[in-house]
Structure 1
């Protein structure tokens, strides 16, 4: 490269802001969905925590609290396949029909469709449309994050 070793190593160690059509990219925390079901992966608001997250570049520097989950297996076909990555925004407003990630208090993460939201509960539809809707009281839910992007 013609660079002195010291400068070359400094370039490798210093993360640069990538650009996409003039817009900067940033690093999001990424984990496999199946692994993120364990203890200690999220705080009470749904923000990633701990050291088990890998970095992933994403071109939206303005949104806050984003994280990415990699789908494993074929349980979410045809919407998501093994290896697809979904980007979740736990701080974004939810709308009827949104695909969301739901963290229940005593259970693992679920990817569902938001059907209805009332003062006391939320109703979701499983990705498998043949299954009945799921109703959860607000007290049963730790957090809900809107899926804003998916690699496919």
Structure 2
């Protein structure tokens, strides 16, 4: 059984909606929907939490039941403000509109987290029009992660962080429309980690 089918079976076994399962394991209805369609796969601790909360047997993924309680309780999601819209410009930089217009629900421990709504198809297929990227400025970005980079000249980029050196940073394009971009560090105001994305139906007012 695929993991997406197992999640739906576990939820049905309990008689829960996607919202109820999400509440039980500290995720959103959208997260559960993505798991059940196969858009995203849950992490191991989330699979274990689903099995525990629903009483449904763990899937045959080589996961053994543990009699050791986890050290930390699963954290709950919270409302993250949407601070504007972004789309890719012809020069590879973001075109940004700073108009707060709602909130999206997302798990994060960063009190400074914010979300940006994607407009246009310039970031497809990584990010689709209408989706939201959640940015966590307080958490250090690591190479290989998507980041929002703000420059002192006011320009902004949504890229993948390739590497950071003492005097330079190299960024890779998300949509493969541009080559690697190497920028002097003295031009960079901040590099903010992108924690993930949520669907267009996730926003509340």
**TM-score when scaled to structure 1?**
0.69
Runs of 4+ in 1 over 4 A off after TM superposition: none
Secondary structure at 1:65's aligned position in 2?
Answer: coil
8 Å contact from structure 1 (residues 20, 59) kept in 2: no
Secondary structure at 1:77's aligned position in 2?
Answer: coil
Write the deviation string for residues 13-36 of structure 1: whole angstroms up to 9, x where unpaired: xxxxxx932754432220212597
8 Å contact from structure 1 (residues 104, 143) kept in 2: yes
Return the structure number with greater helix share.
2
Q: How far off its partner does 1:102 sit?
A: 1.0
Secondary structure at 2:186's aligned position in 1?
Answer: helix
Return the structure number with greater strand share.
1
Write the deviation string for residues 60-99 of structure 1: whole angstroms up to 9, x where unpaired: 2522210000000000111111101100011111111101
1:102 corresponds, among 149, 167, 182, to: 149
Which stretch has the larger CA shift, 24-33 or 79-88? 24-33
**Residue aligning to 1:128:** 175
Where structure 1 has 5 or more consecutive residues not aligned to the other structure, the ranges are 1-18, 42-51
1:70 matched to 2:70: no
8 Å contact from structure 2 (residues 146, 193) kept in 1: yes
**TM-score when scaled to structure 2?**
0.53
Secondary structure at 1:21's aligned position in 2?
Answer: helix
Secondary structure at 2:153's aligned position in 1?
Answer: coil
**Residue aligning to 1:20:** 23
Where structure 2 has 5 or more consecutive residues not aligned to the other structure, the ranges are 1-21, 27-75, 88-93, 200-205
The structure that has the greater radius of gyration is 2
8 Å contact from structure 1 (residues 37, 108) kept in 2: no
CA gap 1:36/1:130 in 2 versus in 1, 3 angstroms: closer
Rounded to whole Å, the distance in 1 between the matches of 2:164 and 2:198 is 27
Rounded to whole Å, the distance in 2 between the matches of 1:57 and 1:78 is 21
Q: How far off its partner does 1:107 sit?
A: 4.0
8 Å contact from structure 2 (residues 80, 106) kept in 1: no
